[in-house]
Structure 1
Amino acid sequence: MHIRKATLDDAPACFAIRRDAILAQCGGHYPEADLDIWTSGIMSPSFAQRVADHFYVAVADGHLVGTAMIDLVTGKIDAVFVLSGYMGRGIGRALMAQMESLALDVGLDSIQLESTLNAAPFYRALGFQGDTLSTYQSSLGVSLTCVPMVKHMAERTG
C-alpha cells in the first residue's frame, strides 16, 4: 500500500469510496433516510476539483482504497474514507499519519476534524480529543450529529 497525491482522474473512484465507506460504517449510528440522502446523487464537478486540489489517496492491489484531505491553512482534516473491503488493514491510520506529516511540514500547532459517531473511537486512538456533539450540515441538505475533535501536534525532532 502507498499514499500519493490525488489527480482529477481519481475523482470517480474517490466518490465511490466515500459512498461505500459511509454505507458500510455509519448504519446504526444515523437514520437510514439520512444515509440515503448523504450518499445520493452523482459526482459534481466541484467535488472532482476538490479531489484534484486537496485529496491524497491510498493505493493497494493496484486500486484506490482510501482517501483523506487536509487544509494546510486551517489544519482541518476531511474526507477520510476507506473502501469497506480494506477496512481494518491500517489504511486509515496510514492516511492520518500522512495528514499529520503534512501538517507538521507547514508548522501547524494542531489539526482538527468533525468525526462521524462511528469513527470517534478511531480518532481518539490516534490522539484526537473531543466528546461534545455538534451538527454537520451536508451540502446535500442532511444534518448529521458529529464529534468535533482536535489533536495538538508535537514538534518534530532530529
Structure 2
Amino acid sequence: MLEIKPATAQDAPAAFDIRREAIRSQCIGAYTREQMMLWTRGNADDGYSALMDKPFYLGWVQGQPVITGMLDHNEIGALFVLPGFAGRGYGKAMLEHLEYQARQRAVETVVLDATLNAASFYRACGYVGDEQAVYHSPSGLTLACIPMTKRLV
C-alpha cells in the first residue's frame, strides 16, 4: 500500500535517485540518450535538495520511497516513479494527492509541463494540452514538453 508523506531534507538523495532512474527508464524514445544523461547528471546537493522546502512529497511502499511529486503554488511537478513500481497506480495516486493539496490551498487550476512520454497519462487524468513547447530547466537544459492544465473546481 502506498503511503504519501511530506519529504524532508534527508529525503533529497532518495528523491533525486527516483527522478534519475525514472527519466533514464521511462523517457527512452521521447528524448535522446544525451538529453537524458544531461538532465540527470549530478546529485541532490546540486540544487535538487532545495525542492524539499516546497510542498514536496514522497510515496512509500513497505518502507521504500518509490514516487515523488511536488506542488509549487499552482504547478505540479517532479512526478517520478521508480521503474520497478511503474504501472501500479502510484502515479495516479500521487497526482490525486497533489490535486487535493492544491484544492486545500484554494487553487482553481493546476498547470504542469508534461514530458513527451507522460502526456497521455495526464490526459487520462483530465489534463488538457496538445501544443509542444520548450521547457528550460534551471540547469540550462532545454527539453520538449507539453504544457497542460486542469481545472479543479
Q: Do both share a fold (TM > 0.5)?
A: yes
Q: Where on the TM-score scale, by shorter chain, does this alignment land: which range?
A: over 0.9
| C-alpha RMSD of the superposition | 1.1
SS at match of 1:146: strand
Residue 49 of structure 1 deviates from its aligned partner by 2.6
Match of 2:59 in 1: 58
Aligned position for 1:150: 149
- Secondary structure of 2:88's aligned partner: coil
Give the structure-2-normalised TM-score: 0.95
CA deviation after TM superposition for structure 1 residue 60, in Å: 0.3
- Equivalence for 1:87: 86
Give the Cα separation in 2 of the matches to 1:121 and 1:23: 19
- Relative distance call for 1:24 and 1:45 in structure 2 (3 A) is closer
CA-CA distance at 1:122 after TM superposition? 0.3
**Number of equivalences:** 152
> Structure 2 CA distance, aligned partners of 1:111 and 1:7?
24
Q: Which moved more, 1:136-145 or 1:44-53?
A: 44-53
Correspondence list, 1:1-150, <5 A? 1-44=2-45, 46-72=47-73, 75-150=74-149
Query: What SS does the aligned partner of 1:56 have?
Result: strand
Whole-angstrom distance in 1 between the partners of 2:108 and 2:138: 29
The alpha carbon displacement at 1:45 in A equals 5.5
> CA offsets, 1:102-135, max 9 Å, x none?
1111111100100000000000000000000110
Q: Specify every segment of 5 or more residues in structure 2 that has no aligned partner in the other structure, as ranges.
A: none
DSSP-derived class of the 1:150 partner? strand
- Give me the whole-angstrom Cα distance separating, in 2, the residues matched to 1:117 and 1:38: 14
Structure 1 position 48, deviation (Å): 1.1
Determine what percentage of the aligned residue pairs are the same residue: 40
Runs of 4+ in 1 over 4 A off after TM superposition: none
Structure 1 residue runs without a partner (length 5+): none
Q: 2:5, 2:30 → 1: CA distance?
A: 31
**Maintained 8 Å contact 1:11/1:52:** no
Using the alignment, how far apart are the partners of 1:52 and 1:108 within structure 2?
A: 19
